[in-house]
Chains A and B, each alone.
Chain A
Amino acid sequence: MDLGNFESLRFFYPETILTGTILLLVVLDLVLRSKKSLGYIAIVGCLISLWATLELYGTLGGWLFHRMVILDNFSLFFKVLSLLAALLVIWMSLDCLEIQGVHKGEYYTLLLTSALGMFFMASSSNLLMAYLSLELVSLTSYILTGSLPHNRRSSEAALKYLIYGGVASGAMIYGMSWVFGMTGSLDYARISEALLQGEVNRLGLFMAFVFILAGFGYKIVFVPFHMWSPDVYQGAPTPITAFLSVASNASGVAIMIRFFFPAISRLGEGGNWSYIPGVEWPHFLLFVSMVTMTLGNLCALNQQNVKRMLAYSGIAHAGYLLMGLVVLNNDGLRAMLFYVAVYLIMNLGAFLVVVIVANATGREDVEGYRGLAWRGAAIPAVCMAIFLFSLTGLPPFAGFVGKFFLFAAVIEAGGMFVLLAVVAILNSVISLYYYARIVKTMFLDFPQPDDPKVEMTVNSSALLGFLSCLTVLLGIYWGPLASYAGQSLRFFVR
């Protein structure tokens, strides 16, 4: 299918619903006196859009809007993820004391706009569209990061984010211009044809890819484009940190897979992709992956602030994710998709506990978690332990299965990838140390008499229960999610 503007709208209703919700929120924000209901309206909007997205799943793929946007299972998978992330983050925000002073109408509007941008990131089939959608996500994220009024950290984080983001996207669009210059088109399919005919300068193309990687890398947070993340994660309001760490990361993965696989590689027998000979980006990424996970884990070891620690752990996880990319086969990509999904669940869970603890104590440092299990908050403490051990990759939690798939893909590829697997398992062991440090503080240390009691609201207990059950459930019975990830690897390529 190659549809024009009006025909495309038939397949565009998830986005339409989301846009409608955003506009509705803007209007209601002006009309309503109590802002409490805005959050619920946003959640309902997300749910309807989610339902619409799931309805579309499995339909025949095709180009929409004159080949600007692609509709296929792959993009729908990531749309579901961004919606889920937005939904859960809004749910998390309902009871978050930290963002009480934030203007709620703008907050929810920007959050949903960011999710809308992620829709386009997952589905763009044109370099220009890719750039614009990435910028849409970035711009909304900058504002959300700085949305805490009169908070120096938050403002500093936003400024840092803006500067890094500006540089990265500048580099990316520069790389895109090289690709345009060499292939004469911005359309992924045309680029692919032009590259197939050969006669492009290999070194030039490689350089262009490295520049483009800057943009993607800054979204996924891998080395050397990771510098912004610890400060931003620490400074941003916690729900936004959670949103950035899972959704922004996921859509970065989506745009990267879309560009590097269907656009510039060829699918061969047995789900193996082959890259353009002479342009060795997989080797480059192999190296990046190892450095990213090692650096992330080593830096996380000594962090005192839990959000900052989770930022570095996020860098490490980006490194693990890249393992699935470099093996250049569908098993690896499926492992990535699976991992992104479980990472979303467990990381949001961890940030939710951060929110709960911060609500009660106002603290985000590790010491603030002292004896959490013994001061009336055994349930959040146990849930936090589940999320952290899941992040470490211990069974029977979902994170283990995610890592298991990644390792499986790497081991199956064999050869020098075994080295990558060994680096990754050493990293898993290192990561246990800092995750367990929080668990230790929560369970093994005892509270001081003046430590406040931690209490949960109904909303956050429900969300916490939901996320932790899902983390355990997906660790024990992950067949359905794995097959869903497998089906979502259907790209629309012509």
Chain B
Amino acid sequence: MTLFKRVAAATLLTVSLAGLAAAQQPEPKQQDEFVPVSQLPPQDQLPAAPLLVTAYAFVWVALFAYVASVARRLSRVQREVERLESEIKRGTRA
């Protein structure tokens, strides 16, 4: 038997056994009534705190970044205005 045939046979056997094991497992119990979100098991609940903190952090960071961006642009333009005004006063241009 070639190596390829041995590997194929082993794979077939594994898949068959896995299928057999899955077929023998009992079916999960069907949920037949409403369960409030607050009564879900802990592993099914989505924590609210990280979402809340992320939302507020995003707002603060976005506002700070915008104010910093406008301040940076404004100081650059004002520096340039002052430079040109002084050049005009001197009657020259660099």
* Pairing of A with B: no
Chain A interface residues (CB < 8 Å from chain B): none
Chain B interface residues (CB < 8 Å from chain A): none
